[in-house]
Amino acid sequence: KTFRPRKKFEPGTQRFELYKKAQASLKSGLDLKAVVQLPPGESINDWIAVHVVDFFNRINLIYGTMSEYCTEKSCPIMSGGLKYEYRWQDDNKYKKPTKLSAPQYMCMLMDWIEMLINNEDIFPTRIGVPFPKQFQQVCTKILTRLFRVFVHVYIHHFDSIINMGAEAHVNTCYKHFYYFIREFSLVDHRELEPL
């Protein structure tokens, strides 16, 4: 229910080539701190766009694999332990920060991100079409909210991840995500405190 089909990059485009570079680097066993660095001569916005879409796909898959354990009953509040509670606001249906269950929050989050990354005015895919001025701000908001998925999964559902034998994948994805957001200062350090 919460899994979304992957957004694909069109073969032959610059973003497809950047995506292939990023994937090849990850599969080669290189140091993740090095793989997140902007390749020489590449656009920072293209690099961020490729990673935001890739992280959306990966984190959506991680949550989708363990979503049966994250229910209205087990997780009535979207939180990261007792100290951190995350409320949903989208300036659309939820104009004020609203307390939601974790499954509701995740569903709203994935729909919201999918809408943004498929919006050509925010994530342009045509050659020569510039990114909007607020592009990195939008990405910061997306990545901050995706980080909250890691917080929730690690604190409330990591036993389920271990039981599925998926901890190595989740840990690698988290490290890649963490090094990327730190490399480009895309998530406020206060948001990182829960983990």
Give the domain CATH number at 122: 1.20.140.30
Q: Cβ atoms within 10 A of the Cβ of 185, count? A: 10
Which pLDDT score, from 0 to 100, does residue 32 have?
85
- Tell me, what DSSP letter sits at residue 9? P
d(CA 124, CA 100): 32
Domains in the chain, number: 1
Q: In this structure, is residue 91 part of a structural domain?
A: yes
| Residue 162 resides in a domain | yes
pLDDT value at residue 169 = 86
Tokens (6 digits) for 55: 């992280």
Token pair 């980080």 is found at 147
Q: Is 9 within the bounds of a domain?
A: no
The range of the structural domain enclosing residue 131 comes to 14-192
Res 131: pLDDT: 96
- What per-residue confidence (pLDDT) applies to 15? 52
DSSP character at residue 79: B
70 is in an annotated binding site: yes
pLDDT tens-place values along the chain, 195 residues long: 444 444 555 555 555 555 454 454 444 456 888 889 999 999 999 999 999 999 999 999 999 988 999 999 999 999 999 999 999 999 889 999 999 999 999 999 999 999 999 999 999 988 889 999 999 999 999 999 999 999 999 999 999 988 988 888 899 999 999 999 999 999 999 999 999
Whether residue 66 lies inside any domain: the answer is yes
Instruction: Please state, in angstroms and rounded to a whole number, the distance separating the CA atoms of residues 33 and 88.
Output: 31
pLDDT at 25: 41
- Annotated binding residue 75: yes
Q: Is residue 179 part of a domain?
A: yes
Output the pLDDT for position 160: 92
Using CA atoms, how far apart are residues 46 and 129, in angstroms rounded to an integer?
11
Spell 65-81 as b/e; 16+ CB within 10 A means b: bbbebbeeeebeebbbe
